[in-house]
Chains A and B, each alone.
Chain A
Amino acid sequence: ETGVTQSPTHLIKTRGQQVTLRCSSQSGHNTVSWYQQALGQGPQFIFQYYREEENGRGNFPPRFSGLQFPNYSSELNVNALELDDSALYLCASGGETGELFFGEGSRLTVL
């Protein structure tokens, strides 16, 4: 039990649609990161938020965006969905000790 919860657990969208994934971090963790894990691959860093501001981004286009709220929750938004966006999306929160704690993920299927 990591204390990081994500919703929804599964969802199906069609190409061109928009999706919002949600995450609730551990209390006291002021950093939240989002990762994309395609089938059979390791997770890829999308971006990180620290105290409600983006402070690091991986190699993902601007249609991937996010928000972090004061209550330790965050969102990942993906616009203009493409087939290759089908993946498991993982949220992770971290504190001062250096490790990240991951949620169970949201599995997105784009048809």
Chain B
Amino acid sequence: AQSVTQLDSQVPVFEEAPVELRCNYSSSVSVYLFWYVQYPNQGLQLLLKYLSGSTLVESINGFEAEFNKSQTSFHLRKPSVHISDTAEYFCAVRSGNTGKLIFGQGTTLQVKP
């Protein structure tokens, strides 16, 4: 069965510092990979996705993630975080064309002033 492991449950970081949220997945077939962000008391918002093509994908608010097939990883990075980036971040994998997403347990990003 597929699984997603987010290696850090909490990541505290100071404002304007770089951050990396780690995600590993297990799969033997082609996958689609996603990062979602969840602010308190809200639903999930798609941050970025890898479906095919370039292994480096970027979001509009400065986050990027790199698909690494050999290491089965899809780590999320941002070179300089803001207070407003404080949220829960979920990595997810979707196999083939099914609608089922497998989520990791989430990583709480805490940006401190």
Contact = CB atoms under 8 A, between A and B. Distances in A.
A binds B: yes
A98 B103 contact: no
Contact of B49 (A33, A92, A98, A102): A98
Interface of A is mostly: strand
Given A42-B105, A42-B106, A43-B90, A102 B44 contact: yes
Contacts of B42: 104-105
A72 to B, nearest CB: 15
Interface residues of B, number: 24
A66 interface: no
A33 B104 contact: no
Contacts of B4: 42
Contacts of B98: 48, 56
Nearest to A96: B97
Interface string A1-26: 01000100000000000000000000
B94 A98 contact: yes
B63 interface: no
Interface in B32-54: 32, 34, 36, 42-46, 49, 51
Interface of A: 2, 6, 31, 33, 35, 40-45, 48, 50, 55-56, 58, 90, 92, 94, 97-105
